[in-house]
Chains A and B, each alone.
Chain A
Amino acid sequence: MRHIISVLMENEPGALSRVVGLFSQRNFNIESLTVAPTEDSTLSRLTVTTIGSDRVIEQITKQLNKLIDVVKVVDLTEGDHIERELMMIKLKASGQMRAEIKRTADIFRGQIIDVTPTTYTVQLTGASDKLDAFIETLGTTHIMEVVRTGVSGLSRGEKVLSL
Chain B
Amino acid sequence: MEQLSGAQMVIRALQDEGVKHIYGYPGGALLHIYDALFQQEEVQHVLVRHEQAATHMADAYARATGKAGVALVTSGPGATNAITGIATAYMDSIPMVVITGQVMSFLIGEDAFQETDMIGVSRPVVKHSFSVQNPEDIPSIIKKAFHIAESGRPGPVVVDIPKDMTNPTDRFNYEYPKSIKLRSYNPVSRGHSGQIKKAIDMVLGAKRPVIYAGGGVIMGDASAELTELAKLLNAPVTNTLMGLGGYPGTDRQFIGMLGMHGSYEANMAMHHADLILAVGARFDDRVTNGVDKFCPTAKIIHVDIDPASISKTIQADVPIVGPAKHVLQEMIELVKGSKKQPGKESIDSWWQQIEEWRGRHGGRFRTDDSELMKPQQVIEMLSKVTKGDAYVCSDVGQHQMFAAQYYKFNKPNRWINSGGLGTMGFGLPAAMGVKMNFPDEEVVCVTGEGSIQMNIQELSTISQYDIPVKVICLNNQSLGMVRQWQDMNYESRHSQSYMKSLPDFVKLAEAYGHVGMKVEKYEDLEAAMTEAFSLKDRMVFMDIAVDPFEHVYPMQVPRGSMRDMWLSKTERT
Residues of A within 8 A of B (CB): 9-10, 13-14, 17-18, 21, 25, 55, 58-59, 62-63, 65-66, 68-71, 163
Kindly specify which of B260-268, B306-314, B476-484, B559-567 makes contact with the partner chain. Answer: B306-314
Name 29 interchain pairs, CB-CB below 8 A, sorted by A: A13-B131, A13-B133, A14-B129, A14-B131, A17-B120, A17-B123, A18-B123, A21-B123, A21-B124, A25-B124, A55-B311, A58-B311, A59-B308, A59-B312, A62-B307, A62-B308, A65-B307, A65-B308, A66-B306, A66-B308, A68-B128, A68-B148, A68-B182, A68-B184, A68-B185, A70-B184, A71-B183, A71-B184, A163-B183
Total interface residues in chain B, CB < 8 Å = 19
CB of A63 within 8 A of CB of B308, answer yes
Q: Please give 17 more A-B residue pairs, beta carbons under 8 A apart, in addition to A21-B123, A62-B308.
A: A9-B184, A13-B133, A14-B129, A14-B131, A17-B123, A25-B124, A55-B311, A58-B311, A59-B308, A63-B308, A65-B307, A66-B306, A68-B127, A68-B148, A68-B184, A69-B184, A71-B183
Closest chain B residue to A13, Cβ basis: B131
Q: How far does the Cβ of A46 sit from chain B's closest Cβ, in whole Å?
A: 13
> B454 interface residue, CB < 8 Å from A?
no
Closest chain B residue to A66, Cβ basis: B308
> B91 interface residue, CB < 8 Å from A?
no
> B36 interface residue, CB < 8 Å from A?
no
A163 to B128 CA separation, bound complex (whole angstroms): 21
Residues of A within 8 A of B119 (CB): 14
Interface code B283-308, partner A: CB below 8 Å = 1, 0 otherwise? Answer: 00000000000000000000000111
Closest chain A residue to B123, Cβ basis: A21
A14 to B129 CA separation, bound complex (whole angstroms): 9
A22 to B281 CA separation, bound complex (whole angstroms): 22
Interface centre among B123, B148, B183, B184 (most CB of A within 10 A): B184
Q: How far does the Cβ of B146 sit from chain A's closest Cβ, in whole Å?
A: 13
Q: How far does the Cβ of A6 sit from chain B's closest Cβ, in whole Å?
A: 15
A122 to B90 CA separation, bound complex (whole angstroms): 50
A70 to B127 CA separation, bound complex (whole angstroms): 13
Residues of B within 8 A of A (CB): 119-120, 123-124, 127-129, 131, 133, 148, 182-185, 306-308, 311-312
Residues of B within 8 A of A71 (CB): 183-184
Q: How far does the Cβ of B398 sit from chain A's closest Cβ, in whole Å?
A: 31
Residues of B within 8 A of A55 (CB): 311
Q: How far does the Cβ of B148 sit from chain A's closest Cβ, in whole Å?
A: 6
A58 to B316 CA separation, bound complex (whole angstroms): 13
Q: How far does the Cβ of A163 sit from chain B's closest Cβ, in whole Å?
A: 7
Residues of B within 8 A of A14 (CB): 119, 129, 131
Residues of A within 8 A of B311 (CB): 55, 58
A10 to B182 CA separation, bound complex (whole angstroms): 10
Closest chain A residue to B308, Cβ basis: A62
Residues of A within 8 A of B183 (CB): 71, 163
Closest chain A residue to B157, Cβ basis: A68
Residues of A within 8 A of B148 (CB): 68
Residues of A within 8 A of B124 (CB): 21, 25
A25 to B182 CA separation, bound complex (whole angstroms): 25
A69 to B312 CA separation, bound complex (whole angstroms): 22
Closest chain B residue to A55, Cβ basis: B311
Q: How far does the Cβ of B142 sit from chain A's closest Cβ, in whole Å?
A: 15
A55 to B316 CA separation, bound complex (whole angstroms): 12
Closest chain B residue to A62, Cβ basis: B308
A63 to B308 CA separation, bound complex (whole angstroms): 6
Q: How far does the Cβ of B119 sit from chain A's closest Cβ, in whole Å?
A: 6
A143 to B571 CA separation, bound complex (whole angstroms): 68
3 shortest A-B CB distances, which residue pairs?
A62-B308, A68-B128, A71-B184
A14 to B306 CA separation, bound complex (whole angstroms): 23
Q: How far does the Cβ of A143 sit from chain B's closest Cβ, in whole Å?
A: 37
Residues of A within 8 A of B127 (CB): 68
A18 to B128 CA separation, bound complex (whole angstroms): 9
Closest chain A residue to B127, Cβ basis: A68
Residues of B within 8 A of A13 (CB): 131, 133
Closest chain B residue to A8, Cβ basis: B184
A71 to B182 CA separation, bound complex (whole angstroms): 10
A63 to B148 CA separation, bound complex (whole angstroms): 16
Residues of A within 8 A of B131 (CB): 13-14
A160 to B58 CA separation, bound complex (whole angstroms): 43
Q: How far does the Cβ of A5 sit from chain B's closest Cβ, in whole Å?
A: 15
A17 to B126 CA separation, bound complex (whole angstroms): 13
Residues of A within 8 A of B312 (CB): 59
Interface centre among B124, B127, B129 (most CB of A within 10 A): B124
Closest chain A residue to B310, Cβ basis: A62
Interface centre among A18, A55, A66 (most CB of B within 10 A): A66
A68 to B180 CA separation, bound complex (whole angstroms): 14
